């Protein structure tokens, strides 16, 4: 057995994207983002490429992974912006 995407990046999920969706993810990766993160952001943003680019530029999903008081810092006044 083992025919699934085991050879690719340690058990990464295989996403089925249309050509148009794949092109959007390609454009995000061309901006310098990791392909898996770009695809994840694109889907998380309801396939809104501009929104996904903004999410990735703002630190992508890392801001959630390091949310335990890491070095996100900045002014306390601007904190609610990420929840809009």
26-55 pLDDT per residue, tens? 999 999 999 999 999 999 999 999 999 999
Contact 12, 5 (CB under 8 A): yes
| Global confidence as pTM | 0.58
Q: In Å, what is the CA distance from 35 to each residue of 27, 42, 46, 80?
A: 10, 10, 17, 28
What angle (nearest 5°) sits at the alpha carbon of residue 74, between those of residues 83 and 52?
Answer: 40
Tens of pLDDT, residue by residue over 54-80, are 999 998 766 555 544 444 445 455 555
Q: What sign for the dihedral angle of Cα 9, 13, 16, 20?
A: negative
32's tokens: 């310098």
């Amino acid at each position: 057995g083992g025919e699934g995407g085991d050879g690719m990046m340690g058990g990464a999920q295989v996403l089925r994207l249309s050509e148009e969706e794949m092109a959007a993810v390609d454009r995000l990766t061309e901006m310098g983002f990791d392909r898996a993160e770009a695809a994840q952001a694109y889907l998380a943003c309801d396939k809104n490429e501009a929104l996904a680019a903004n999410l990735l530029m703002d630190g992508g999903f890392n801001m959630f992974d390091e949310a335990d008081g890491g070095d996100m810092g900045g002014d306390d006044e601007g904190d609610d912006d990420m929840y809009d």
